[in-house]
Chains A and B, each alone.
Chain A
Amino acid sequence: MRKDKEGWLEERLELEPLRAALLDRKVPKGVGWLYTLGSATLVVFITLVVTGIMLSMNYSPSPEHAYDSVLFITEEVPFGWLVRGMHHWAASAMVILAVLHGLRVLFMGGYKYPRELTWVVGVLLLLLVLMSAFTGYLLPWDQKAYWATVVGTNIAGEVPLIGDLLLKLLRGGETLGAVTLTRFYSLHVAIVPVLIASLIGIHLFLVIRQGISAPPRRAHHSSSASATK
């Protein structure tokens, strides 16, 4: 199709087969808007990464400065209110979209053979998304953030046998304070996002490699799982 007007890069790198493999995938009949929830989650994740990096430029994770630096972002930096607002709402949206995406896969039976691995990775991703939401909630260091984290870490403390260990691990000590804030910051900006991005890579590889599952058909004995081959 575009062999005749092959570009400079194309001539050297031959990216066309790669592009075709990634984007020109066959899609089973009957898929609709419900099947966009995964992509929507991905877009929201990218939004969170970009706005998160921008926020980290002006945020200071210490008890003395956290709240003031968040106010500084919101009130002083041009469009800081927009960047923070996008991060705030995208965070909620990501939890909601990830859950809806999981429910869609659950109800459509998309987790079945041969896509069990995609499902397992997806469940891990959901847990990491919740972890990200929980750690990010503390960072503004206002009353709501502080007490929500007190309650949240107390819940972790109720886990049988290892509860006390978990509590100290999360708080970086007995009580919630400066160390909790830096630990949560590190988890929120370095550890969890890298894990999420890696698992998204695996998740997407599996989706592209296997194709997406066809919606289940009513009263029909068909091999719906292999519609793409």
Chain B
Amino acid sequence: MRKARPGKTGADTRSTTPEMSRRNLLRNCVYAVGGIIATVLGYPAVRYFIYPALRGRQETTWTQIAQTSEVPVGVPTFITYEERLRDGWVVSPISKGAWVVTKDGRSFTAFDPHCTHLGCAYYWNPDRKFFLCPCHDGVFDIDGNVVSGPPPRPLDRLESKVSEGTLLVGMTIKSTNEVD
């Protein structure tokens, strides 16, 4: 029913140059504002999605495992502890253990309790004064060095520190083969 009104041609000619019509200007403004909104909202959205790939190595979670005074000097001691493992919003305790060695009661070494050959649990033999692995006769000395058998490298150590008379351990650090 409503047709273009012929009386208003002046207004029409002003706005019909294709490059500069009001229509084009408004459209470009819509695109520009839309682009700004998309950028401002897109950045958080992308970060929200990809953060697991960007996150670096997780911070060490330190676990208290013993009072330093309780660790016998000169005799390796097996200490069990529970580490709180964080997985997203789930925190679950996992049972772990470490062979702890101190020669002076002040500085401590914590060994990962798996043989570096195939991951068997080894034990301290107080008579021979060696760590022995029952699976393939791997033998380590009290400092974790390979004495004999198939293990390719010394025992792995745990990050450890002493704080106010308490021994704490962190993550396992793979040993390197400094001898060979």
Q: B89–A65 contact, CB under 8 A?
A: yes
Stretch at the interface among A72-80, A103-111, A147-155: A72-80
Q: A71–B89 contact, CB under 8 A?
A: yes
Complex: chain B residue closest to A68, CB-CB: B89
How far is B1's CA from A226's CA once the two chains are assembled, in angstroms? 9
How far is B88's CA from A1's CA once the two chains are assembled, in angstroms? 55
Q: A78–B48 contact, CB under 8 A?
A: yes
Contacts of B44 in A (CB 8 A): 78-79, 82-83
Q: B1–A72 contact, CB under 8 A?
A: no
Q: B49–A65 contact, CB under 8 A?
A: no
From A26, A50, A57, A58, contact of B2 by CB (8 A): A26
State how many residues of chain A have any CB contact under 8 Å with chain B. 22
Complex: chain A residue closest to B91, CB-CB: A68
Check if A227 is an interface residue, CB within 8 A of chain B: yes
Q: B18–A1 contact, CB under 8 A?
A: yes
State how many residues of chain B have any CB contact under 8 Å with chain A. 12
Given contacts A1-B18, A226-B1, contact A83 B48 (CB under 8 A): yes
From B2, B49, B88, contact of A227 by CB (8 A): B2
CB distance from B84 to the nearest CB of A (A): 14
CB distance from A141 to the nearest CB of B (A): 12
Check if A182 is an interface residue, CB within 8 A of chain B: no
Q: A57–B1 contact, CB under 8 A?
A: no
Interface centre among B2, B44, B45, B89 (most CB of A within 10 A): B89
Check if A60 is an interface residue, CB within 8 A of chain B: yes
Q: A227–B1 contact, CB under 8 A?
A: yes
Check if B90 is an interface residue, CB within 8 A of chain A: yes
Complex: chain B residue closest to A72, CB-CB: B89
How far is B3's CA from A227's CA once the two chains are assembled, in angstroms? 11
* New A-B pairs, 10, CB < 8 Å, besides A68-B90, A79-B44, A80-B48: A1-B18, A26-B2, A68-B89, A76-B89, A78-B44, A78-B47, A78-B48, A79-B45, A83-B48, A226-B1
A residues touching B (Cβ–Cβ < 8 Å)?
1, 26, 50, 54, 57-58, 60, 65, 68-69, 71-72, 76-80, 82-83, 226-227, 229
10 closest A-B pairs by CB: A72-B89, A79-B44, A68-B89, A78-B47, A69-B89, A78-B51, A79-B48, A82-B44, A79-B47, A83-B48
